[in-house]
Amino acid sequence: MPERRTVALVTLGCARNEVDSEELAGRLEADGWQLVEDAADADVAVVNTCGFVDAAKKDSVDALLEANDLKGHGRTQAVVAVGCMAERYGKELAEALPEADGVLGFDDYADISDRLQTILSGGSHLAHTPRDRRKLLPISPAERQESAAAVALPGHGPTDLPEGVAPASGPRAPLRRRLDGSPVASVKLASGCDRRCTFCAIPSFRGSFISRRPSDVLNETRWLAEQGVKEIMLVSENNTSYGKDLGDIRLLESLLPELAEVDGIERVRVSYLQPAEMRPGLIDVLTSTPKVAPYFDLSFQHSAPDVLRAMRRFGDTDRFLELLDTIRSKAPEAGVRSNFIVGFPGETASDLAELERFLNGARLDAIGVFGYSDEEGTEAATYDNKLHEDVVAERLARVSRLAEELVSQRAEERVGETVHVLVESVDEEGVYGRAAHQAPETDGQVLLTSGEGLSVGRMVEAKVVGTEGVDLVAEPLQGAFGSSEEAGR
């Protein structure tokens, strides 16, 4: 009998990384590895890193060093870096962080078991030399699907695998293994991005935009439902582009109703929407389809025209407000969240005031604010008209204070609303879940005033009776436990 091998996956960063980790887990379990939760109980600790901004990179390095500290004090024998930071820096990361026994890029994912076994046995695997992954697929989106099989696309694992390859496998089993018991799971809709925002390096290490086949998305969703998942969140770098490389830019509009009809799924959520690519048909589907959350994760980034042009983005305050008015005319209770960058090179006091005008009029449910900092390899890093870091810090603090006040006000507007809450935790601290306007980890949560008879995964109809900042307090309505045809609404 082969020696028992254990592995723990530590995931940092966004929901896309979580999907990638579960694909790696599926591959490893299929090859006989035993998955454990705690890195201290694993022969190999695999850290799925984030390489987006400096703070995320620091968190990734800290996680690798923390895992390395386990060596010699327990079972852990090796620490391996995967994910965006490993892909982006490759050999450079390996040289700067000798504590990592391996730095594996996306091209190593298909052979992850062999790579870990080599490292665990005392061997080494040469860290890759980073390359611009945008060049791996044809420039024309229409030609990409034919080339996709030759390119590593994390989270695009095949479905319809043979019996026994994935847990509870059957005719719809994907190359994926769930790492927690949450009733919510993300599903990769696509990978990469064709936009060229001057502050963002993601396309260079995630590659050009490429969609997954609708059948794969549907099969994976059905499998997740069989695992007890009640809500799926569609993730990619840009969901509004879905289908453009499959010959149908409106493919998302037809896919969403099919996903909502999957037996066991109570809510479908779409994240990462580009304001410049929003179209009437997509708004209609998102606001009128039962079980599809009227939720709009819109990447505004700013609203001053000059700043947006410098970012290579489009729009302005009035156009953005008009878009929000259109959404709310169809679904008054729709949830909207966005992120913003302040202190971008060349941002003037009047630009900042324009952003504040937009925020005051937008009534957003959740707002993320970030101070600009140079990202190597981006066009903005070469700009001359950068603001002093003290100015950026002051503007960040100023807009963050405004954002906190505004989202609290927006939460108070929801008092009296009826919401459908997916229960996610039940313990001595209370019963918590999320309503349709709240995505996991980013948009606040709902505290239910009564938890009698409730369990994780139940959909509860409740009335909002109070707020705690961005969070809501809601009272379950009599006879409201269980699923509802309108659960996503």
Q: Which residues are annotated as a binding site?
A: 14, 50, 84, 193, 197, 200
Q: Which two tokens stand for residue 323?
A: 């878009």
* Distance from C-alpha of 399 to C-alpha of 352, rounded to nearest angstrom: 9
Q: Which of 287, 296, 267 shows the shortest CA–CA distance to 443? A: 296
Contact 462, 473 (CB under 8 A): no
- C-alpha distances in Å from residue 328, one per residue of 241, 295, 321, 411: 23, 11, 11, 16
Phi, psi of 364 (to 5 degrees): -80, 145
Going by their DSSP bridges, the two strands 34-35 and 6-11 should be labelled as parallel
**Alpha-carbon gap, residue 365 to 472, rounded angstroms:** 11
CA distance 241 to 155: 17
Tokens (6 digits) for 256:
């969403």
Q: Name residue, tokens 């799971």.
A: 185
Give the Cα separation of 259 and 266 in Å (integer).
10
Q: Of 14, 9, 60, 79, whose CA–CA distance to 38 is shortest?
A: 9
Please give the Cα distance from 343 to 365 (Å, whole number). 23
Tokens of 154: 């994390």
Residue with tokens 């060349």: 346
The three-class DSSP label of residue 189 is coil
Tokens standing for residue 161: 């695998």
Return binding residues for [4Fe-4S] cluster: 14, 50, 84, 193, 197, 200
DSSP 332-364: TT-EEEEEEEES-TT--HHHHHHHHHHHHHH--
